Chains A and B, each alone.
Chain A
Amino acid sequence: MKKNITLMDGAVGTSLWAKADAHGWKKDPVWVYNFQHPEIVGELAQEYADAGAKIILTNTFGANGPAVKRSSPYAAPDVVAEGVRLAKAALKGRDVKIALAAGPLPQLMEPYGDLEEDEVAEIYTEFLTAGVAEGPDIIYLQTFMDLAMLRVATEQAKKFDLPVFCSLTFEKRGRTIMGNSVEDAIRELTPLGIDAIGMNCSLGPDLAVPVMREFVGKTDLPLIFKPNAGKPILAADGTTGTTFDSKVFADDVMPALDFVDYVGGCCGSDPSYIRELASRMKE
């Protein structure tokens, strides 16, 4: 196992939905909870810190301007700022870093879609300005499927004086749905001065490790690995779950611990997954 691996948190979205479900609340876009149910947002951050995570993501992933405007009465900058404030308040005095999490926009950029580059840059500038003002430690751009969009977001992120982490979502063959490869990502993002690179979401660890391995030897940047718990399944009672459990997840992640620098989980993983990883890393 590599030395000095930093443990990150697990999923924010699916974990908050699980909590909302347990309370019988409506499953809204999770960033709405920053205002409507802030207690579960803070609680989850604490649970991840208790499990051993040293980097905790803010509940801001999908809170970009157009999405917030479309499905809530709130303003995106307020939602993002509140997400950072909630994490900071919940983790006050603890030895953890807070990462401002930003995801991709759900539409495609030109020439394949209607989003113009300037428009995308503006949306991320608004998002990041609001989030950074609240004092996070890291900017984490994650789950990007289009390297062109990630490049625009990264350029905006680099205007702030914070480390910038980038991770993409790759399919089994090591390409994003837009066809970007691991090499493409390294080549395009490294000159922008990012601080870590890797993959998150999309695949469970069994299928993700081979893709993650493609980074090895091609970059000196620290590597981030945050795979899903596994493909989500819907149980007969209507609840969402995964085909994996925390032990299988940790077993499958283990081979990656020989070469990654940051490890955590994505969709479907919860604090128990991170606790399991923490105990394996101690061994």
Chain B
Amino acid sequence: MDLQQISEQLQAGKAKIVTQLVQQAIDEGIPAKQILEEGLLSGMSVIGEKFKNNEVYVPEVLVAARAMNKGAALLKPLLLSEGATAAGKVCIGTVRGDLHDIGKNLVKMMLEGKGLTVIDLGVDVEPETFIRTAVEEDCQIICCSALLTTTMGVMEEVVRAAKEAGIRDKVKIMIGGAPVTQAFCDQIGADAYTPDAATASEVAAEFCKKAQE
């Protein structure tokens, strides 16, 4: 079976068909890792690119991600038994005082679309919670989101807390959200600012790849 079909149906948000096709591919004996990468993740990557270029919008990303998750659920036990390791682990949240989660959720979906394991801390997240999670769950990356100019300052607290916890050299801190800029990222000493969810996932995947080398 042509895994490209899975990618295409995923891009169209056809969760049911994606699930059927993934099952069919499994039944044909195609390795789970290959189905994941060439079917699901490649489809999400196309959606991510289109979203970045304003060719599709939030609804299309959401339905594609839903289709991906349905398919990935079938693959999960097989991936475990194949001994496939996740590409990396990330914890993500909207910082303290900020309740906006649309952007954060998009980044989460795109990260999952790169095959990364994502721990979603939700909204209004204290700096300590990011740090504790990163330590306990052994995350390579902390992703912080903020929509408000008044809450983006909390990101600096996250950077500081990582230093104080002695994990600054073990974890990358990525930031994003409408008011966030590269200049702000440089100023607070975070590792990366990305202007959109698709770019965030690319940078995160790159960080995880380097961490594993």
Which residues from chain A sit less than 8 Å from chain B, CB to CB? Answer: 14, 17, 27, 67, 70-71, 106-108, 112, 171-173, 175-179, 202, 231-234, 236, 238, 240, 267
Contact = CB atoms under 8 A, between A and B. Distances in A.
A232 B179 contact: yes
B150 A234 contact: no
B157 to A, nearest CB: 12
Contact of A234 (B58, B62, B100, B149): B149
Majority secondary structure of chain B interface residues (helix, strand, loop or mixed): loop
Contact of B99 (A67, A173, A202): A67
B80 interface: no
B1 interface: no
Given A231-B179, A234-B153, 13 more contacts: A106-B101, A108-B58, A112-B58, A112-B59, A175-B54, A176-B57, A177-B57, A178-B57, A178-B58, A179-B56, A232-B179, A233-B184, A267-B149
Contacts of A176: 57
Contacts, number: 58
Q: Which 7 A-B pairs have the closest CB atoms?
A: A179-B57, A27-B150, A240-B149, A173-B54, A232-B179, A234-B184, A112-B62
B99 A234 contact: no
A231 B149 contact: no
A104 to B, nearest CB: 10
Which of A71, A173, A234 counts the most chain B CB atoms within 10 A?
A234
Nearest to B147: A106
Contacts of B58: 108, 112, 177-179
Interface of B: 54, 56-60, 62, 97, 99-102, 149-150, 152-153, 178-179, 181, 183-184, 187
A236 B183 CA distance: 9
A234 B190 CA distance: 15
Contacts of B184: 233-234
B156 to A, nearest CB: 9
Nearest to A177: B58
Contacts of B60: 179
Contact of A233 (B62, B178, B183): B183
B153 A178 contact: no
A202 to B, nearest CB: 8
B149 A179 contact: no
Contacts of A233: 181, 183-184
Contacts of A232: 149, 179
Contacts of A70: 99
A30 to B, nearest CB: 9
Nearest to B99: A106
13 contacts: A17-B149, A70-B99, A106-B100, A108-B102, A177-B58, A177-B102, A232-B149, A233-B181, A234-B149, A234-B181, A234-B187, A236-B187, A240-B179
